Amino acid sequence: MITEFTPYSSLLGGVLIGVAATLLMAFHGRVAGMTGILQGVLPPLSADWQWRAVFLAGAIAAPFVFVNLGGTVDFAVPVATLPLIAGGFVVGIGVYFGSGCTSGHGVCGMARLSPRSIVATLVFMAAAFVTVYVTRHVMGG
């Protein structure tokens, strides 16, 4: 499945993510890592679960409002249900033990030049490239 190259909207989206990460540090003193924020609202709840819950609510509400106001967000899942769910479980295990994901390590940690985050980002990007190569070109998915 071909997707359209969207440099402008992708850059604009990236800038908004960066603005959000900066504001979260300036106001709340926290890194905008989705894995860490989500973990705080899973039982046992962290002591500061309230701001995490409303952050997540905002992150879900904004795309909802955007599309209902007439905005378009392309969406397609070229993966069957079973690998989608298996992938979700694998992602959950991985981000738990790896202490972060694309937003935490890849954006916030790399922006601080954290050696841990640089290593984590290189490793998970490399693993994703290899996985897609294997599933699409070796296994012929």
Q: Could you say which residues in the range 63-92 bind another protein, by CB under 8 A?
A: 63-67, 71, 73-79, 81, 83-92
Which of 50, 69, 70, 139 binds another protein (CB under 8 A)? It is 50
The interface with another protein within residues 2-21 (CB under 8 A) comprises 2-7, 9-21
Is 70 or 77 the residue whose CB approaches another protein more closely?
77
What is the residue type of 45?
Answer: L
> From the CB of 70, what's the least distance to another protein, in Å?
14
Cis preceding-peptide flag for 44 (omega within 30 of 0): yes
Here the tokens at position 89 are 């479980």
**Would you state the structure tokens that stand for residue 4, as one six-digit string?**
């359209």
d(CA 74, CA 2): 12
Residue 41 CB, shortest distance to another protein, in Å, is 10
Instruction: Verify binding: residue 45, another protein, rule CB under 8 A.
Output: no
DSSP state of 42: S
Q: How far is the CB of 62 from another protein (least distance, A)?
A: 4
Query: How far is it, in rounded angstroms, from Cα 77 to Cα 75?
Result: 7
Single residue of 45, 49, 69, 136 touching another protein by CB under 8 A: 136
Number of residues lying near another protein (CB under 8 A): 111
The answer to whether 32 and 104 have CB atoms below 8 angstroms apart is yes
Q: Which of residues 95-134 bind another protein (CB under 8 A)?
A: 95-99, 101-103, 105-112, 114-116, 119-121, 123-133
Is there a contact between 117 and 109 (Cβ–Cβ < 8 Å)?
Answer: yes
